[in-house]
Each structure stands twice: as C-alpha cells, then as structure tokens.
Amino acid sequence: MKLLVLASSLDLQQPFSSTPSWWQLLKGLYENGVDLVVTTYQGPAIESLWWQAVPNPVRREGDLFKALRDAARRLLGPPKPVQGGEAAGEGLSERLVRRAAQTIIAPRWRRYLDRLLTEQPDIDAVLMLTVPLNHLNGVARHLINRHGKPVFYYDGDLPASLPQFRGFATGFRIYPGADPGEYTAILGNSVEGLDYVKALGARHVHTLQYAADPDVWAPLDVPQDIDAFFYGHGREYRERWIQAMIAEPSRAMPERHFAVRGTNLGDLGRAERLPYLSFSKLREYACRSRLNLVITRGAHASVYASSNSRPFELAALGACMISNPYKGVEEWFEPEKEIIVLASEDEATERIRWLLAHDAERERIGAAARARFLKEHTYRHRARQLMDILQGYL
C-alpha cells in the first residue's frame, strides 16, 4: 500500500498537540510495510527515516494565515467555549480566515496534490491528518473524480472540533462551511463524536483511537522523587479537575511533591512547575513520579470513548494512573485494575493520599496497564487497523 499523506504539521516546535502522534502513526504504518509520501499543511515537510517528504507548497501563505489569525484573535478575542452541547456560529475572524483560505490556499493544494498523484500513479489513497477541513473545500472531490483514488480525513480533535464545542481557542474550527460528504470516509478518535460527524454529512465514518509507540514511550529506570505528576496544556474544559486533582491535594499534603509540566494551567496550589527542556523529557518526568494524573478535558470526558494520547503514553511507561471521570475509558483500560477513575471531586485528595501510601498497589496497576497497552494499544496496532479500513475502499 502506498499513501499520500497531508498532515497538519510535523514540526514539534509548533503548538499543535497532535504532531507527536502523527510521527508515531506514520512510523507504525512504515513498520507495517506502507510506502509513505508526506507533506504538511503548516510549516516544513520534515524528512524522516520512515517516509519521503515532499514540500509544503503554501508554507509562506500558511505562516501568513496563522499570523493573521492570531492577530485577529488578539484584536477581536478568541471564540468562547460553549458548554452543554449548544451549537455556535463562527466569529468574524474565523469567517475571514476561512474564506481567504478557500479562495487562495485551496486551489493551490488542489493543483499540487493533483500533480503528485499524476507523477506517482501507484499511490493508492490520500490521507489528511487534522488539517482545517473547511479550508480545503472541493479538493477531495476533485481528486476522487479525476484520479479515482479514495481520499480519507482523520479528525484527531474530536469532540472538541465539533461546532457545539467550538474547538480550542488555540486551534482552527474545521466544520463550519465544510462538506464532510466529499470525502470517501471520515476517521476520528471518538466513537460518539463520529455520530455527530455523520449527522454533519459524512458518508462513512470509522473510529481510530490514539495510541503510543512502545519504542518512544519505553520505561526508564530512574529514582521516583515526584509523588504526583501531570502534564498538559491549557485549562480549557478541565478547570474543575485541575483544582480537584492538583491544587487542592497539593495544599492538603504539603509533605508530598506535586509537579506539573504545562502552560496556561492557572492555579496549581503548591505543585512545582517543571521546565519543558525537550519533548523526550516528559517521559523522564512521568517515570520519576509515583502517581500520574490523567486530567481529561470535559469535551473528551463527556462524549463516549473520545481518546487522547495521554493514557496510552502513561500506560506504555507502566505508570499508575488516576483519572477524572472519563466516559468510555473502559474501552481501553479496566477501571480499578489498570487505571483508577474518580467518581467525584470530593474523593480526589483521599484517593491520591491512599495510592501514595500503597506502593505495591501502584506497581500492580501500572504493570497491568502496560500489559494491556502492549497487547492492544501500540501505534503498530493502530496502523494495522487503519490499513484494514483503507483496504476496504481500494
């Protein structure tokens, strides 16, 4: 199988949280024998040992659009998150950026992808990884009609990308003005979220959850000098649980060392803020911690089986995880056996205190989570699942 892949970004220095997952997924595809031709929507198309990189044809325009979007949001303000499933319309800055992208950028992408498929007729399919769906209207339909090759779209931001959640303030909102039905199929990281995508017009939908690469997320034998650790970015959709699982317990247990790596997280109580240093440093921080906190955003936690990368990364490390309530987490890890899931904010401090006092129980939970991860949730597993889905349309 040979795929032409358009990824949102491959630059780990850019603030796109899915970028490390694209590296791991593409590596998993390569390890399963897929031939990959890869370009990017934002930033440079980076060469690797696992794929052939082809240039981003609108890199300068993409950088300009990002700068204009950021400037517009500074002047007009970012879109406010919407809770309770209430749908919301686009803001002025979003409409302006989308219309400009459809007028200027989409035609260039259409011509460029058209040329690549003409020059490499052995490409079997096109896969787009969380690029702004409503910036590329008509591109998928054109490629399908002209080349007879299926075009797939993977939304890795479900459910936050849906109109009723307005996406993240730091990212694009991709569905207003888009036509999901022009794609052969839409893939996504959420079982229930894809029901909404189907209602927006998608012809076919398939679930492909997040995972982790066992070579990247391998356990480190380091002293555990941190009691409880969390890493993540932004308070959006998880303010209550940052307060309940970090700020309050760290104040209630001054003898314990709470630590956090992240940005824009607000009040963290007595927790130490650790420096970023490098992406790989996150693995060391997690392994240094006796207990790892999984604080999933409300958008993900409230829509059934909406995965993010964090539980799989921590399970790969053999970490003992304690999570806020998370609908559908049992699809991946068994509560009380492979992950601890809180029932309420009130019990957070006491359950954290109990787990920190019981070393053998933490080790048992971490070992069980790692065994489940290796059996079912590596990116080699996800790559094979993706190949099976694509093969059904070839």
pLDDT digits (tens, 9 = 90+) for 48-70: 999 999 999 987 766 666 666 56
Which has the closest alpha carbon to 37: 230, 48, 28?
Answer: 48
Q: How many CA atoms lie within 13 A of 196 on its CB side?
A: 21
- The residues near 244 (Cβ < 8 Å, ≥ 6 apart) are 324, 342, 345, 348, 349
Higher pLDDT, 84 or 78: 78
pLDDT at position 234, please?
Answer: 84
Higher pLDDT, 239 or 103: 239
Q: Which residues of 72-93 are buried (b: 16+ CB within 10 A; e: fewer)?
A: bbeeeebbebeeeeeeeebbeb
**What are the pLDDT digits (tens) for 187-227?**
999 999 999 999 999 999 999 999 999 999 999 999 999 99
Q: Which residues of 328-359 are buried (b: 16+ CB within 10 A; e: fewer)?
A: bbeebbeeeebbbbbeeeeebbebbeebbeee
Which has the closest alpha carbon to 41: 173, 155, 107, 129?
Answer: 129
Do 258 and 358 touch, CB atoms closer than 8 A?
no
**What are the pLDDT digits (tens) for 253-307?**
999 999 999 888 999 999 999 987 777 789 999 999 999 999 999 989 999 999 9
Residue 124 exposed, middle or buried by CB count within 10 Å (0-12, 13-18, 19+): middle
| 86 to 80, 165, 198, 378: CA distances (angstroms) | 12, 8, 18, 35
pLDDT, the chain, mean: 90
Tell me what percent of the residues of the chain surpass a pLDDT of 70: 88
Which of 15-19, 308-312, 339-343 comes out lowest in average pLDDT?
15-19
Give the domains, in start order, of the chain with CATH numbers.
Answer: 2-211+379-391 (3.40.50.2000), 226-376 (3.40.50.2000)
Residue range 124-147: average pLDDT? 95
Residue range 80-105: average pLDDT? 61
Tell me which H or E stretch contains 293. Answer: strand 289-294
pLDDT at position 363, please?
Answer: 98
Do 228 and 291 touch, CB atoms closer than 8 A?
yes
292: its two tokens? 């790892």
Do 35 and 5 touch, CB atoms closer than 8 A?
no
Structure confidence at residue 131 as a pLDDT band (50, 70, 90)? very high
- The residues near 208 (Cβ < 8 Å, ≥ 6 apart) are 154, 187, 188, 189, 382, 385, 386, 389
Is pLDDT at 174 greater than 90 in this prediction? Answer: no
Tell me what percent of the residues of the chain surpass a pLDDT of 90: 76
Would you tell me how many other CB atoms lie within 10 Å of the CB of residue 125?
Answer: 19
Residue range 117-136: average pLDDT? 96
pLDDT at position 87, please?
Answer: 40
35: its two tokens? 């031939």
**What are the pLDDT digits (tens) for 2-21?**
999 999 999 987 756 799 99
